[in-house]
Chain A
Amino acid sequence: MKSKFVLVVLMALLTLSIPARAQLVIEITSGADQLLPVAVVPFGYTGSTPLPEDVAGIVQSDLLRSGVFQAIPRENMLSLPTSAKDVFYRDWRLLKADYVLVGNVDANANGTYRITYELVNVLTQKRVGNKEALDVKPSNFRDAAHFISDKIYEQLTGIRGAFSTRILYVTAEGNKAAPTFKLQVADADGYRPQVVVSSQEPILSPSWSADGRYIAYVMFRNRRPNIFIQELATGKQQQLAQFRGLNGAPAWSPDGKKLALVLSKDNNPEIYTLDIATKKLERMTNHYSIDTEPSWEPDGNGIIFTSDRGGNPQIYRLDVKSKSVERVTFEGELNTRARLTPDGRYLVTVQKNDGNYHIALQDMKTGRVQVLTQTYLDESPSIAPNGSMVMYATTENSKGILAVVSVDGLVKYKLPSADGDVREPAWSPYFK
């Protein structure tokens, strides 16, 4: 609509004043509400032993989940090239594929496999980037696939892929009245879950260290909450000093040196920071209301948190140096458990409107707020390290599940269902 108007104006100008030889300029101000069509051709393999994973299939799933791409169904493909030189472009133009990923798997002598892949632009009929090769063990096929997905995603979007990242989440399994709580870690697509810790008492608030090596979480012991730090690779667990009352909401600082947490040892919930090396505790807030759910700004200069000091829970920002506090959210009946995108541009909160709890996105530059989800009892939003997606917990058929919504609200998907109630997702940072 707008673009048409622009053109009309342009043409009016042309007609009125510009002699016939003037350069015609057509302005295009809107584009297609269409996902980028990509064909992920099954990778070639001539070996006799079956492969542990369908690499191209995993890549295609990854790309589809990102919400940026649409895939050309395999059954529609007219040919199955395994290298760029075999790509017959007219076939793919016909299928309306803009880009084609081709690859091949060969068994190496040492039991590993060599995976090669190439991405071609059907329109320009040129390869995008180079032909790449990976040597992988059979157990790492999923990793290889996610790695390829990351590369393709970055080449086609300009944004670093987050398919190789992982997620933490908590499940409550078994008898509802006496469930078993499990803290689990899985691939970002929900595959390959591993239990980190299991308990008969509640586990909540898992949090990643900035380098992805450590996690922190709250686990009850003897009916009282405790904060634990654990090294993922070794499973080495460390319990922080326990205080009377609340011990909750641990959040790692971006530099990995501090943990923001909530203690009510001084009567009501306040935000503290704990220097992990020195064990020095510093009180950051001082208010008779509830102050909780701290989360660091990407630069570590501020901590955003939930407080009902204004009457109902809203998000506030705490300046780490001055400890001054300012309110950040104003829309919605309440806003809680905020997280910032890695670029600091957007604030994701759990917002209540008309009795419903949904994930909302607030543009920190414009103040504009958009509700991203329409599911039931949405909570615990966690943002992918590339800022493109928000994973959150919701309730479906009286069961807690994990779902993902793109930051633009257009893409939504659910993670494959795990046993029991699933909750408290925490998206890992990039692993260096």
Chain B
Amino acid sequence: MSVSKLGKFAVVGLSAAWLAGCSTTATESDNSAVAEEGAATETTESADDMAASDDATYAAGEDGAVSSVIVEDEEAMAAQMQDVDPLAGVSTVFYFDFDKSIVRPAAREALAKHADFLINNPDARIVLEGHADERGTREYNMALGERRAKAVMRYLTIQGVAASQIETVSFGEEVPVAFGHDDASWQLNRRVEVRYE
């Protein structure tokens, strides 16, 4: 349980790194602060590495960070590669600005792939899990997380995905992935995760 979770977090971190790397225009003070302050956790460390190389877009995703993930969760990665998952390498975590629920342009490509998959697999069901950073009150953040999940859902339904395939759930600030009390951690925690059921 804890092992698989760790792997999941690693993936999350990777995705975050990738996203951060290719969305410099969208990221504001949040991301610039990341480099300055550094981070306590492994996942944010990798995010830092990625953020540093500006033009290392997709290739950066297969960089050291990936290998480190593989090291930690070899089995999972191996399984994914065997199945030739159409969503292999496609981001499942999408980030948001503070107190905002607008899907960033950087997320569109990945979301389009999820949309294709769902359209092609009408039996597939996803849960969009919305999250918020620790700032603000818990129940308000529950609502904020849900609003983000619904933003992603709307994006998918516009792509043609049936609403019946999508469920939104919010965890508010209860399940962070980064535990610092800084902009970097908060950016990583303001997210929607796509979870296939």
Contacts and interface: CB of A to CB of B under 8 A. Distances in A.
B169 A290 contact: no
A34 to B, nearest CB: 36
B147 A379 contact: no
Given A177-B9, A223-B129, A223-B169, A380 B138 contact: yes
A171 to B, nearest CB: 13
Interface in B105-130: 127, 129
A254 interface: no
Contacts of B146: 245-246, 264, 269
A336 interface: yes
B127 A223 contact: yes
Given A178-B5, A246-B146, A395-B181, A292 B139 contact: yes
Interface in B168-186: 168-172, 174-177, 179-181
Contacts of A202: 171-172, 174-175
A127 interface: no
A309 interface: no
A244 B163 CA distance: 13
A177 B139 contact: no
A268 B168 CA distance: 11
A248 B6 CA distance: 28
Q: Is the interface of A mostly helix, strand, loop or mixed?
A: strand
A175 B139 CA distance: 23
Contact of A350 (B6, B137, B144, B176): B137
A184 interface: no
B162 interface: no
Given A176-B179, A178-B2, A269 B136 contact: no
A336 B142 contact: no
A306 B179 contact: no
A313 B140 contact: yes
Nearest to A393: B138
B43 to A, nearest CB: 10
A336 B169 contact: no
B139 A248 contact: yes
| Max chain A C-beta neighbours (<10 A), residue from B127, B146, B176 | B146
- The residue among A177, A379, A398 with the most chain B CB atoms within 10 A of its own CB is A177
A293 B127 contact: no
Q: By CB atoms of chain B within 10 A, which of A205, A245, A337, A398 has the most?
A: A245
Contacts of A220: 171, 174
Nearest to B144: A290
A121 B2 CA distance: 62
A380 B137 contact: yes
Contacts of B176: 176
Contacts of A377: 134-135, 181
Interface in A201-259: 202, 204-205, 220, 223-225, 244-246, 248-249
Contact of B167 (A244, A306, A350): A244
B143 A204 contact: no
Contacts of B144: 290
A225 B170 CA distance: 8
Contacts of A249: 139, 142
Contacts of A292: 139-140, 142-143
A204 B138 contact: yes
Interface in A146-198: 175-178
A416 to B, nearest CB: 22
B143 A357 contact: no
Contacts of B181: 376-377, 395, 398
A422 B179 CA distance: 15
A414 B177 CA distance: 28
A290 B136 contact: no
B187 to A, nearest CB: 15
A177 B142 CA distance: 19
A357 B142 CA distance: 17
A357 B5 contact: no
Given A290-B147, A377-B135, A245 B140 contact: no
Contacts of A175: 2
A397 to B, nearest CB: 10
B140 A290 contact: yes
A262 B179 contact: no
Contacts of B9: 177
Contacts of B140: 290, 292-293, 306, 313, 336-337
A270 to B, nearest CB: 10
B137 A306 contact: yes
12 contacts: A177-B6, A177-B9, A202-B171, A204-B172, A246-B142, A248-B142, A268-B150, A269-B146, A293-B139, A337-B139, A357-B135, A377-B135
CB-CB nearest 5 A-B residue pairs: A202-B174, A337-B137, A290-B143, A249-B139, A269-B143
Given A178-B2, A267-B150, A269-B143, 4 more contacts: A204-B139, A223-B129, A262-B142, A290-B140
Interface of A: 175-178, 202, 204-205, 220, 223-225, 244-246, 248-249, 262, 264, 267-269, 290, 292-293, 306, 312-313, 334, 336-337, 350, 352, 357, 376-377, 379-380, 395, 398, 423-424
